[in-house]
Amino acid sequence: MTAPLRRLAPPSLDQQLRAAPAMTRPLMLDIIAHACRRVPSLGQDERAARIMRLIDVEAWADVALALIELELPMWQVRRIAYDEGEWHCALSRERELPDWLDAAVEARHSDLALALLSAFIEVRALAADVPRPSVPSVRPLLDPLCEPAVCDNFS
């Protein structure tokens, strides 16, 4: 079900984030509608209610962090830095690895919430591009020194 995310999330969603000077309620609701699968399915769950309360008080960075926590449970914020008028945010699956070994997804924007959500959208797009079979596959271990043999004695 990750392929529909690419079709539902128009390329303009990422462009909207880059072009927006600041977060707005309609933009946040658009992101939730097009890039979030778990928030709408929670219904009246406490986590969804918390996200809606944060939206109501316009705590945009907290909403972005809550969405990352809920929608991307395997990802964590690796780095948030402010440099020369822009926020730089990195999301990672392996936060404990050194920077040079980690394959973090990075985004930047003058608004902290928009930088976090840009990284969020990029991770969602990456996840949508990776095809996943419905059944996990296991690669056979090929060892030239080991051959299976039947040892049953049916006599």
pTM of the model: 0.72
Q: What percent of the chain has pLDDT over 70?
A: 75
- Listed as own residue / partner, the contacts of 126-134 with beta carbons closer than 8 Å and 24 or more positions apart are 127/2, 127/5, 128/2, 128/3, 128/5, 128/6, 128/9, 129/6, 130/2, 131/3, 132/2
| pLDDT, tens digit (0-9, with 9 covering 90-100), for 28-59 | 999 998 888 888 766 678 888 899 999 999 99
Residue 105 CA, chain-centre distance (Å), reads 9
With bands split at pLDDT 50, 70 and 90, how would you rate the model's confidence at 3? very low
| pLDDT, tens digit (0-9, with 9 covering 90-100), for 100-111 | 777 889 999 999
Whether the predicted pLDDT of 135 surpasses 80: no
Whether 115 contacts 89, CB under 8 Å: yes
Supply the pLDDT for residue 152: 75
Supply the pLDDT for residue 130: 57
- Listed as own residue / partner, the contacts of 31-34 with beta carbons closer than 8 Å and 24 or more positions apart are 31/67, 31/117, 31/121, 32/67, 34/8, 34/9, 34/10
DSSP 98: -
Average pLDDT, the chain: 82
Whether the predicted pLDDT of 138 surpasses 60: no
Supply the pLDDT for residue 129: 58
